[in-house]
Amino acid sequence: MSTAHQLASVIVAAGSSRRMGFDKLTAPLAGRPLLAHTLAAFQTCPEVGAVVLVCAEERVGDFERLAADYSIAARVVPGGRERRDSVWKGLEALASASPEFVAIHDGARPLITAEAISSCYQMAREFGAAACAEPETDTVHRVNANLCPIENVPRQSLWRMQTPQIFSFPAMFRILSEEPANDAPATDEVMAWIQSGATARVFETPDWNFKVTHPRDLPWADSILRARSL
């Protein structure tokens, strides 16, 4: 990795697509598989010097071919049982390159742009860690076991966390290496980061960046990608 490229990326794509009901990562979006859009954003970001894709072990060959079909230089490695395990596998794959920062991103967020990655990275360089996010705009209620609203949650300080989440690589490597595997797993890397006592900043994503989770998300993402190409 050259001195001009001290940002590496780990794309996590080891999920089961359980809520989707079919393989969302290869679902067609604007003429390409969903995952190809995700990878292309990091490939075209000038600050990114290495891309590691973490997937289920049985999909390694499939995704190596996908990357090659779209001229994407990504190293594909098998992940683990939980998200934390897969992220760790990605960090291990980058350890010999010793990047200064690492961007961890959900493979199922194909709307991320190279510009947003770059801006989030600049914030991470200033503060040590930064994560794409957007402020909550809906009214939020807490509900009980019977799905009855019981409490309004003030939204003024609530943000919906997204990815990429960008951290000092040595610090994140140390945090995950020391985190006991049998502890309640962090639901994202920012959670693990702040549990360690470190601080991060949120970067307000300037464009769409939702995670494709349900079938209804696909036509929405498709229309956004097609509109961007006009």
Q: What is the pLDDT of residues 96-155, one digit of tens each?
A: 999 999 999 999 999 999 999 999 999 999 999 999 999 999 999 999 999 999 999 999
- Contacts of residue 215, Cβ cutoff 8 Å, sequence gap at least 6: 20, 21
Task: State the pLDDT at residue 14.
Answer: 87
Q: Inform me whether the pLDDT recorded for 71 exceeds 90.
A: yes
1 exposure class (CB count in 10 Å sphere: 0-12, 13-18, 19+):
middle
Q: What is the pLDDT of residues 4-27, one digit of tens each?
A: 459 999 999 987 555 565 689 999
Give the residue, 3 or 168, on which the prediction is more confident: 168
Backbone angles phi, psi at 66, to 5 degrees: -60, -45
Q: Inform me whether the pLDDT recorded for 179 exceeds 90.
A: no
Q: Inform me whether the pLDDT recorded for 82 exceeds 80.
A: yes
- The residue behind tokens 């991060």 is 200
- CA dist 96 and 99 (Å) reads 9
- Contacts of residue 188, Cβ cutoff 8 Å, sequence gap at least 6: 131, 161, 163, 165
**Predicted TM-score of the model (pTM):** 0.92
Average pLDDT over residues 42-65: 96
Average pLDDT over residues 85-96: 96
Q: What is the DSSP letter of 28?
A: E
Give the residue, 20 or 88, on which the prediction is more confident: 88
- The residue behind tokens 């199922």 is 108
Task: State the pLDDT at residue 180.
Answer: 61
CA dihedral 11, 14, 16, 22 (to 10 degrees): 50
Q: What is the DSSP letter of 46?
A: T
Q: Inform me whether the pLDDT recorded for 157 exceeds 70.
A: yes
Q: Where are the domains of the chain?
A: 7-228
Q: Return the minimum-mean-pLDDT range out of 131-145, 154-168, 177-191.
A: 177-191
68 exposure class (CB count in 10 Å sphere: 0-12, 13-18, 19+):
exposed
Q: Which fold has domain 7-228?
A: Spore Coat Polysaccharide Biosynthesis Protein SpsA; Chain A (3.90.550)
Task: State the pLDDT at residue 3.
Answer: 40
Q: Tell me if 108 sits within 8 A of 213, measured CB to CB.
A: yes
Give the residue, 179 or 111, on which the prediction is more confident: 111
Task: State the pLDDT at residue 21.
Answer: 57
